[in-house]
Amino acid sequence: MLLEIRGHHFPGRSWHLDTGPCDNVHVGIQVRRDPVDLVPGDSQAAVWRTEIEVVERDSGRDFRGPAVQGVRGSRFVYLTWGDVGPDGDFTMFRRAKLMLDDVPVADHVVATVDLTDERGGPRCARLRPPALQLRGG
């Protein structure tokens, strides 16, 4: 299955944490432990694509792939937010979870995500409608 995540409504490049300001906010999909395909937080739109293998087991569906996180029965894909320093280092401060059990099984699934939360910050925690729209085809 090809999972295509389409992000829109970005929160901006700057954001303030309790520990201080973040002036170069980026978001990307997390592959294993690393963020990839980073996009600036003030972009208009972004698309991330990842292949996911759907495995049928006696206990139900399971998922595999380089971007798949979590334990069997609770797999997900992260969108990870971080501040990119002048040296290019990414310091993660938030993540959003796209739960794979919520995704319809199809050859190509499009997940459209509103990346700004209700307080104007980078969206985090479990992605749910109306911030998440799923379409399988």
Retrieve residue 48's tokens. 């991330």
Task: State the pLDDT at residue 117.
Answer: 96
Taking a C-beta distance cutoff of 8 angstroms, is the pair 114, 105 a contact?
A: no
Measured between alpha carbons, how far is 53 from 66 in angstroms, rounded to an integer? 10
- CA 97 vs CA 10, 12, 26, 78: distances in Å: 16, 20, 16, 5
Task: State the pLDDT at residue 45.
Answer: 98
Predicted confidence (pLDDT) per residue in 71-124, tens digit? 998 999 999 999 999 999 999 999 999 999 999 989 999 999 999 999 999 999
* pTM, 2 dp: 0.94
Taking a C-beta distance cutoff of 8 angstroms, is the pair 118, 128 a contact?
A: no
